[in-house]
Structure formats: structure tokens, C-alpha cells
Structure 1
Amino acid sequence: MEIRSLLERLIAFDTTSRNSNLELIEFVRGVLDEEGIPSELSFDASREKANLWATIGPSDRAGVVLSGHTDVVPVDGQQWNTDPFALVEADGKLFGRGTSDMKGFIAVCLASIPKIKRCNPENPIHFAFSYDEEVGCIGVRELLKALSAFKIKPAMCLVGEPTDLRVIRGHKGGMAARCHFKGEPCHSSQTHRGVNAIEMAAEGITYLKRMGMRFKEEGPFDHECTPPFTTIQTGLIEGGTALNIVPEHCSFEFEMRGLPSVNTLELADEFFTYCRSTLEPEMKKGSRQSGINWEIKSEYPALNLDGESEAIKLLQSLTGESSSGKVSFGTEAGLFQNEGIPAVVCGPGSIDQAHRPNEYIQINQLDRCERLVDGVVQHFARGAD
């Protein structure tokens, strides 16, 4: 199948992270089956979601991984001019949820299979398609557990996230957490008898804001990232039942996106220590039943690949880029790097289109990506390892 036809099929599957991705995975598996290529699946606990791993070529050599995630972000509340799950072409663009992020890259990979078979690669070409990247790079961890059992590690991983085909060697790491404040409810005319969970949560949120401002003003800085500092933001909050009741509960969620030199889990510990040592004792003065608890919802490591690595040089030679860069958004690449597999982020489409209504990809980006994947395949197929 051609890239456009494949992308049309892929877009039609609503693989929003809250949904199963099995129909899409079975479609991909069918494409591989038609070419006589076996594939392996690894499932989540519910068995409603799966990763797919497939290999063309010998299994006793390193080769390259072509990696992409199958899930997309929700379209809820967005104003689309077309059906987000039906591919629409206009003005040299293809519109639909996931066109840029990142089913376009997956379509290019699938379209390359017949050419890969014909060249009978001396080194393996691996395909790794994961679930739940958008909610914390969850699925790829299970895939990497299976990969770690291999005696030979791939020599390189190409993560085809949308970079406008710029070669990306680094990105920020991140974490997200949910905090819950339990106070003591009472009538609002008797505030001295209660513990206001919303007000105490606001103290916590203010502390997070001060932490973020510290990084903005004092660094560390990396001007290859935009913005060039570690960021912290609170994105969700809920609490209270009525205006005349001192609120018993308040919860909020925050995220941290740290430069490669910053460990976001350690940074979060600073905040949790403040909650435990300062805010919670104040709450317990009003009620011993008051307190704070939290959970880490997701985390992913930064990517920080040497700009002189062979993987970077290869991608630069194939794209014509004279340099490589860094981005602030996260990918699965850092997880591959943590397993000792040099990972580069380079793919079709723009991050400016990701997660937005009327998401699209330029058709010429897919054409350029096809040439890039062909070049990567040829490099490894002819014996480079």
C-alpha cells in the first residue's frame, strides 16, 4: 500500500490513549503478515492495548529500530472543520488526528516494507510501535523489557516524532503528579473549626510557582531548548462542594519538564518535602484527620545524545542538516537511550500541529521522510552496523 492509503487507514482508528489500540495493531500486523513478516505483541494488564515488534533481516546482528507510538491525544472540546478520524486532503496537506503526531511516520515505515524485503538486509530493520506514549511513555517500557533479553542491542533507534525532519539529539525529561489535600469541613461561618483544603492546596501551588520562577531566573539554562530552562506548571485543580462549606477536599495535578541536567523526580521530592514538613503540620493543628498525599502519574527521562555520535552523523548526512538540536517536548527516545541504544528524534510534521484542532501534515514532509527512511535502511542493509 502507498503512504497515503496507509495513513488513511491508520487515522480512521480512534486510538486516543483512553481507548484500545488493538484494531490498529491488528491492521499493522495484517500488513506485515501479507509480506510474510512475523510480529510479536506485548500487552498491558487489561490486554486492551498492545505494543508491536517486528524484524526484517537476521536477528544475530544489531541493526536499527524504527519507532513510533500508536496513540493520539483527545479531540474533546476542539473545533475541527472536518472529521478528525477521516483523512482529508487540501492545499498540499493531509488533515486528521495523528497525521503529524505520529501516524504519518508509521505509514512511511509500513510503506517501506516491500523495499526492505527486496534489499535482503545484512543487518536487521526493527519496527517498534507502542501504546500510551501520550500519557507517560507507558507502553514502550514493556517493549523494552522484552528487548533487554536480546543478546545484541540495536545500533540505533530512529524515533519519528514530528520535528519537521530536523535532527534532534536531546530533549527535556518530565514527570507529572497528582496531589490531594484533605481538610476538615464545617459551616463557613465557623472557619476557625475547619481546615480549608483549597487554601492549603493553593499554598502548595504557590510553592510550585516559586520553584518554577527560580529556574526561569537562575537557571541552569540550555539555549538549544525553548524555553531554555526547567519549567513547572499546575494544569488541573478541583475541590469544594459549596461556597458556604469550608472545603474538605482539593486535588491538583502538576508537571515538571527538566533540562537533561535536572532530575525531575528529585525536584518533585523538594516539593513533597515542603508539603510534608511545612503544610501538613499546619493542617493537623486544625484537625488530626487532615493531611496530604500524592502519586507520581508518569515520568520519562531526558534525551542527551552526543552530537558527534554515529547516529547523529548518519541522520545529518541523509537530511542535509549541518547541525542537530534539542526540543522541550518529551519522547520515548530517552528510554531507548537508557537501555544503551543511541536514539535520535527525527520525523515528518511539525510539533506546532500536534495536539491542535485541524492537525495536518504537509504531503512533501511525507515524501522527504520516505527518502530518509530509505536512506537509513540502505545504510544498515549494506552491512553498516
Structure 2
Amino acid sequence: MTTAHVTTQFQLPRQADFSDWPNSHAWLTHLVSFNTVSRESNLALIHCLRDALEVAGVSAEVIHNDGGDKANLLAVIGPEVEGGVVLSGHTDVVPVEGQAWDSDPFTLREADGRLYGRGSADMKGFIACCMAAVPALVGAQHEGKLMKPVIFAFSYDEEIGCLGAPRMIARLRDRLPRPAAVLVGEPTMMAIVDAHKGITDLRTTVTGKPSHSSQVYQGVSAIHLAARMVTFIEDRMQARIDCGHLDERFDVPHASLHVGRIEGGTAVNITAGECIFDWELRHLPGEDVEAMLAEIDAYAERLVAPYRERAPQVGIRSERTVETVPSLGHGDRDPAIRLCQRLLGDSRASEAVTYTTEAGQFQSEGWPTVVCGPGSIGVAHQANEYIELSQLAACDRFLAQLVREQQAG
């Protein structure tokens, strides 16, 4: 085992001749140092990227959220014509509380060919490689060789529901000609992912009628009704399996419905007046989410109907806590797949994954989209998250080839 050391040196570039422009390792060092856990602002990181790009002569647009404390960044290098390639990444990371880290999560540490730090894999490593590619992109642009643009699209709040990307995508759609491909750099070990599930998060509130538990027929237990709802939700998953709604490319080859949290009631001898549970639906590409949720709502109405005459307040209401994030895989991905194959220098087949990314949001605009980036999803969100130096190097080569590809037009 080699001795671990902490990488701390970074200096924001000061001149456009790129003599002091950081490489991907140095960029990752700096990006990890920003605490961009989703509950925090990401503006310091976004402003750092904007300022560096401006030194390079690249105009970067900052697109704020309604509160003004978070922002996306959109930057175009090259002519504003059709055929551009969007490089997409999110700037937020998940929390570190409750995790047993061996070092400061927000100080990049190198050991045994790995770089440890929160977000190193998910997904500041990809953004670091994008920033390291700026000199080659700007140089090709200045020489008049960059025939098609490369577009940086860095978002906020992906980890809590892909909340920032839609505003950035709308701006991209309204401002620029149609891109040829979108590459979302989530950690795939540089494999090409052309399909993933979508997700909807919901909260169901069940309202009952409290009474003394010895007089159960005077009340209506919200917990008992909630239990029947939870069972029905799980049964809907099995029903889809039985009906053959399957896609064997996924290691869980069907839509998954899962109740993750439940609470309710006030005491063991009182029928519960309220019970709340949080649940999720992860749907396959092409599945009708609205129809699936409508089926569950219809059951809820049938369930409470017998109680309404003696307890009009009884009800079951489901609300989305996060709007549906679309799946990836129901549209044309071939141009993006072929592009990645050329950049990687082989004809490897694309894959499917069960987690959700912003890729489906880009694809919903009709843009060919895939996921391909450095690092492993297996270490994302974990203590001692890391990215291998070899993965950074592979992504650097990938983006260097993209520069050449865009020069060829």
C-alpha cells in the first residue's frame, strides 16, 4: 500500500494563454473542496467555474433558482449551430453525516491510485475533466477549426429530484439550435448507458376518525386503512410482473413500488386519526406513470367509500413530493450511442441501469441522450467515495477525442 497524501494546491487560472490552466486532477481537488450538499448553496462553485471560463474567453450563463441561492451554468464553446454536443453534470452531492470517513470528505485525498472525496465519482470527476478540456476547445475555436459547439450544462439539486435541470434545459432549447447529442457524465466506468428507470416520489395521507379503541366501530383507523393501501401498492408491482410488463435489460426487470416510511396514531388505545406514508414508483421506459397512479387512487376511493356515511372526514390523498423524473430509453439514442463508441474507440454495446439521472429530462426534448462518465456508481453516496486516477485519464482521452470529432464537423 502506498502512503496516502492530501492534495490541496489549486490556483484559479489568471490568463487566457492556458499556461497555468489546471488539469483534471487539480480541478477535482478544487471542486471537492466546495461543500455542495444539496441543502447548501452551490453558488460559490458555479461562480468559480464561470470566472475560470471567462478568463478563457468563454461566456457562461448562470441560471438561478427562484430563491437565488442555487444556480445552473450553461456555456457554449464554438459556433452556435446545430450539431452540438451537450456535456451535462450536476454540482450537488449527498450528505456525509453518519458515514465513517477516513479523512475530511471535502479535501481530496490520494492513495493507491484513487482520489477520495465527496463527489469525486458522483459527479465532480466528470465536471473536472470538462474544465480540463477547455484549453483544447478554445484553441480549436480560435483556429477556426471547431465546426460544431461543445456545450457545458452543469445543474443544481439533481440528488433531491433532478430539480435544477428542467430550467437549464428550457434555456438551452430556447437559446441554441438543436444539439446532435447529450452526454450525461454520471459514473458508469465509461460504459455507455442508454436506458434507465424513471422515478416518482409520493406521500399518502390517510385521514381516519379517532375513538376509544374499545369502541372500534365508532372510529375509523387511519393505520388500518394505510396498511391496506401499502399492501395494494405492493400487489400492483406483482400484478405487473404477472402481466409480463418486464424488461430483462434491468437487474430488477419490472417497475418497482416501494413504501419507505410510515407514521401515524397517537396511542395504542386510540384508533388513529391520521397515518402518513412515503413511497416511490420506479417505472420502466415507455410505461404510463399516470395510468399506474390512477389505478392506486381509484382503489383508495373504493377503500374509503364504505366509511363515508358515518365518518365523512375519512379520506386518502396522495401527492407527489417530487415530480416524475422521466426514464431514459423511449426515444432515439442511436446518434449519441454511435458518438460515444467513436470517442471510446470501440463498438461496445450500451447498457441499462436501475438508478435515475437527468438524462431522461434531456431526452424528453427529443435530443439523443446517453449516460457515460468516469468512476463507479458502486462507491457513490458511500463513505470514502473515490474515483480512480485511471478513470480520470480515460475521461480526459474521451473528451480530447470529442474535440477532434467536433473539428471534423
What range is the shorter-chain TM-score in?
over 0.9
Tell me the number of residue pairs that the alignment of Structure 1 and Structure 2 aligns: 382
Alignment correspondent of 1:317: 342
Structure-2 separation of matches of 1:308 and 1:50: 28
> Residue 82 of structure 2 contacts residue 180 of structure 2 at CA under 8 Å; is this kept in 1?
no
Alignment correspondent of 1:187: 212
Alignment correspondent of 1:370: 396
1:209 aligns to 2:234 (yes or no)? yes
**TM-score under structure 2 normalisation?**
0.89
Alignment correspondent of 1:79: 100
Q: Decide whether aligned partners of structure 1 residues 254 and 191 sit closer, same or farther in structure 2, where only a CA change above 3 A counts.
A: same
1:149 aligns to 2:174 (yes or no)? yes
- After TM superposition, give the deviation of residue 175 of structure 1 in Å: 1.1
> Residue 175 of structure 1 contacts residue 265 of structure 1 at CA under 8 Å; is this kept in 2?
no
Between the aligned residues of both structures, percent identity stands at 42
Q: Decide whether aligned partners of structure 1 residues 91 and 321 sit closer, same or farther in structure 2, where only a CA change above 3 A counts.
A: farther
Alignment correspondent of 1:240: 265
Structure 1 residue matching 2:370: 3-state secondary structure: strand
Alignment correspondent of 1:178: 203
1:358 aligns to 2:384 (yes or no)? yes
Aligned residue identity for 2:395? C
Q: Choose which of 64, 81, 94 in structure 2 pairs with 1:60.
A: 81
Q: How large is the Cα RMSD of the aligned pairs? A: 1.8
> Residue 195 of structure 1 contacts residue 283 of structure 1 at CA under 8 Å; is this kept in 2?
yes
How is 1:1-385 mapped onto 2 (pairs within 5 angstroms)? 1-120=22-141, 121-150=146-175, 152-276=177-301, 278-298=302-322, 299-304=324-329, 309-319=334-344, 320-383=346-409
Structure-2 separation of matches of 1:178 and 1:21: 28
> 1:107-156 CA deviation, whole Å, 9 max, x = no partner?
11111111111112221110000111122211110011112213611111
**TM-score under structure 1 normalisation?**
0.94
- After TM superposition, give the deviation of residue 217 of structure 1 in Å: 4.1
Q: Decide whether aligned partners of structure 1 residues 284 and 52 sit closer, same or farther in structure 2, where only a CA change above 3 A counts.
A: same
Structure-2 separation of matches of 1:352 and 1:34: 36
- After TM superposition, give the deviation of residue 348 of structure 1 in Å: 0.7
> 1:38-88 CA deviation, whole Å, 9 max, x = no partner?
111212111111111001111134311100011112223333232222212
> Residue 182 of structure 2 contacts residue 362 of structure 2 at CA under 8 Å; is this kept in 1?
yes
Structure-1 separation of matches of 2:214 and 2:37: 46
> Residue 283 of structure 1 contacts residue 291 of structure 1 at CA under 8 Å; is this kept in 2?
no
Structure-2 separation of matches of 1:179 and 1:88: 43
Q: Decide whether aligned partners of structure 1 residues 141 and 212 sit closer, same or farther in structure 2, where only a CA change above 3 A counts.
A: same
Aligned residue identity for 2:300? C
Structure 2: which 5+ residue stretches go unaligned?
Answer: 1-21
Aligned residue identity for 2:287? V
> Residue 13 of structure 1 contacts residue 85 of structure 1 at CA under 8 Å; is this kept in 2?
yes
Structure-2 separation of matches of 1:283 and 1:355: 45
- After TM superposition, give the deviation of residue 243 of structure 1 in Å: 2.6
Structure-1 separation of matches of 2:148 and 2:343: 19
Aligned residue identity for 2:52? V
